[in-house]
Structure 1
């Protein structure tokens, strides 16, 4: 049996070899986050692994000897904690959307004085993600919520090069630029963009997008991942970004932010706190500026029978 229980692992009992795609924890961090091993490299005599967070958008490298394989039951227990949080956020978000729709219907039909068949057009999302697994999870949630979305997997370093062509092709109302990121204090101060793994690429992607569509309300942008350089992303032209306190963000947080914008009428402004309150991370990991919604309502709605 390849996997050892977490308690045994923390005591250093396990001697199982860590391989690609194993789910591991870092002993030096008390195995607080589940990671998937995506690469194992050598540097001189030492060996280290590149890790992607399973539920948080964090990329990390760790000494090989610091890693321990997390057994299946412990994986399920830790994953269940995240699933419970996700379900809670989903229920709160659904309540918000229901209230938005009821209010919009009331206003569109003259306070229910007359019966109208109307239809709603939520904002279209282009979701650019550096992680194909996270992209799949996000697309599933978009579908569950009812947000029209186009998902594109793209390496973070290639995003600035490809964004212009993607905007021309998909013509979205909302753009999500995310993937993996991390701050390393060994590479510089928190204010130094070079101390971040992918913040520079996210920032450059936002800048390229704003060259095509400068107005903040004509294209709403979310940018960033775990521990990203929040200030540079906002200054580059993002409406919302991570991470003000340089904390980890949940994989699904970008979905809840842009879905709120997608379902808010274009004549209304969305208060920043109203956007953040139903995310899993909150204001420590996410922030932004006051932004108009993009939902449009029309009528009449006709169903033709053959």
Structure 2
């Protein structure tokens, strides 16, 4: 086995494809190719992933991701039509009174640099203003103390890798000590809430695979994973943040739409009723390079 090899685990029936991130004597550190899962495994339990298996799973995940993107795009088109009708009052809309958009700004902290890059590409595709930083889960609370006043986001995404620890004796799903990084996500949420306690002015999306859903919500997250302690797709937090970014400040985020846009569904992501961050402005912003202006000042 070599770094970067695609592998599956015999003991789990080869259910998930991983990439070898690090080799440690007779063990390997693994990262999921499509799911936010960090695992370790004895080398003897690993086999190189059959190319057919990997391609099928990647294709399935990509298809589900494309469905989510298509659903989001349809909802955005419907939103645009509603805004046009609202402004025009049924009359033909002129360019002079056409509107402009101010979607909510996202600050995305990710414990995985590869998933961070994938996430930023999706934000760009969905036209969500976003700033991303790769930060190890243990350093996210300190990073937020520094970044929140600088970025002043409407939405914070706190994600990376997590999971229920396999070898801990007397594993208790109520205890944070049974999870790999949930305690770090809780610390980061608390740091963000010290900056802004208002659940509607700062929307927090937190968690990764099998995270302690209840603890994250109780700490101040609006949306979190994972109610069913299942694996979540790498892009699920992005879709939730995008929905918050383009939901009007006059409306609450439609929970059914949120769950419908995520790949993992209601067992992977949940949350509480929260207002959106999107604002509409009038009139449409001008292209200043083409604007003809007569100077009026010395």
- TM (normalized to structure 1)? 0.89
Q: Contact 1:223–1:242 (CA<8 Å) still a contact in 2?
A: yes
The answer to whether the Cα contact below 8 Å between 2:84 and 2:93 also exists between their aligned partners in 1 is no
Alignment correspondent of 2:99 = 118
Of residues 269, 288, 296, the one that matches 2:271 is: 288
- 1:39-78 correspondence runs (5 A): 39-42=22-25, 47-78=26-57
In structure 2, what is the Cα distance between the partners aligned to 1:294 and 1:104?
16
Structure 2 partner of 1:178: 159
Q: For each residue in 1:195-240, what CA deviation from the matched residue of structure 2 results, as whole angstroms up to 9, or x when unmatched?
A: 1000000010000000010000111000000000000000000000
Give the drift of 1:75.
2.5
Q: Which residue among 194, 217, 231 is the counterpart of 2:214?
A: 231
Instruction: Tell me the secondary structure at the aligned position of residue 270 of structure 1.
Output: coil
Partner of 1:254: 237
2 CA distance for matches of 1:222 and 1:41? 33
72-81 or 50-59: bigger deviation:
72-81
Secondary structure (helix, strand or coil) at the match of 1:147 reads coil
Name the counterpart of 1:109.
Answer: 88
Q: How does 1:272-283 map to 2 (within 5 A)?
A: 272-283=255-266
Give the distance between the partners of 1:275 and 1:76, measured in 2 at CA: 28
- For the pair 1:99 / 2:78, whether they are aligned, the reply is yes
Which of 67, 80, 84 matches 2:63?
Answer: 84
Equivalent residue number for residue 154 of structure 1: 135
Partner of 2:144: 163
Distance (Å, rounded) in 2 between the aligned partners of 1:141 and 1:207 = 27
Q: Secondary structure at the match of 1:292?
A: coil
Structure-2 change in CA distance of 1:112 and 1:177 (3 Å): farther
**CA distance in 2: counterparts of 1:193 and 1:249, whole angstroms:** 19
1:202 is the counterpart of 2:185: yes
Q: 1:17-28 counterparts in 2 under 5 A?
A: 18-28=1-11
Q: d(CA) in 2 for partners of 1:105 and 1:125? A: 26
Residue 33 of structure 1 pairs with residue 16 of structure 2 = yes
Which residue of the partner structure matches residue 4 of structure 1?
Answer: none
8 Å CA contact retained: 1:160, 1:201? yes
What secondary structure, in the 3-state scheme, does the structure 2 residue paired with 1:65 have? helix
Answer yes or no: is the 8 Å Cα contact 1:227–1:245 preserved in 2: yes
Distance 2:90 2:213 in 1: 42
**2: CA distance between counterparts of 1:174 and 1:134?**
18
Structure 1 residue ranges without an equivalent (≥5): 1-17
- SS of 1:96's equivalent in the other structure is helix
How big is the alpha-carbon RMSD for the aligned residues of Structure 1 and Structure 2?
A: 1.4
Aligned residue in 1 for 2:226: 243
Distance 1:112 1:164 in 2: 49
Structure 2: runs of 5 or more not aligned: 292-298
Cα distance, 1:71 vs. partner?
4.1
Aligned length: 285
